[in-house]
Amino acid sequence: MKTFIPAVIVFAAIFFACNSNNKKESVNAATKDTTASSIVTLSGSSSMTQLLCQNWEDKEDVDDGILNGSSSDLEIPFHGYSFFEDGLVVQNPRDNLKVGKWTLNEKSKKISIVFDNGTKQVLQLNAIGIKSLLLKEGKAKAVKYIADGKRQTNLLDEPFYPANNKWRIKPVKTETDSAIKSRVIDCVHFYHTFFKNNADHEFSSISFYGIPTCFKWYSGGISIINKEKVGQKWIDCFYNKDQALQAQQLLENIISKKYRWNRQEPRWERQSADVLLQITDSLR
Whole-structure pTM value: 0.84
Do both 50 and 87 map to the same domain? yes
Q: How confident is the model at residue 192 (pLDDT cuts 50, 70, 90)?
A: very high
Separation between Cα atoms, residue 198 and residue 196, nearest integer Å: 5
At 146-181, the pLDDT tens digits run: 999 999 999 999 999 999 999 999 999 999 999 999
Percent of the chain predicted with pLDDT > 70: 85
Question: Which residues, in sequence order, are CB contacts of 199 under 8 Å at separation 6+?
Answer: 37, 267, 269, 270, 273
pLDDT top residue among 72 and 168: 168
Do both 145 and 157 map to the same domain? no
Do both 215 and 273 map to the same domain? yes
Do residues 154 and 172 lie in contact, with contact meaning Cβ atoms separated by under 8 Å? no
Separation between Cα atoms, residue 38 and residue 40, nearest integer Å: 7
Domain with 75, as residue range(s), is 40-152
Q: Which of 64-78, 146-160, 183-197 has the lowest mean pLDDT?
A: 64-78
pLDDT at 188 over 90: yes
Domain of 135, CATH number, reads 2.40.128.270
At 231-267, the pLDDT tens digits run: 999 999 999 999 999 999 999 999 988 899 999 999 9
Separation between Cα atoms, residue 104 and residue 13, nearest integer Å: 57
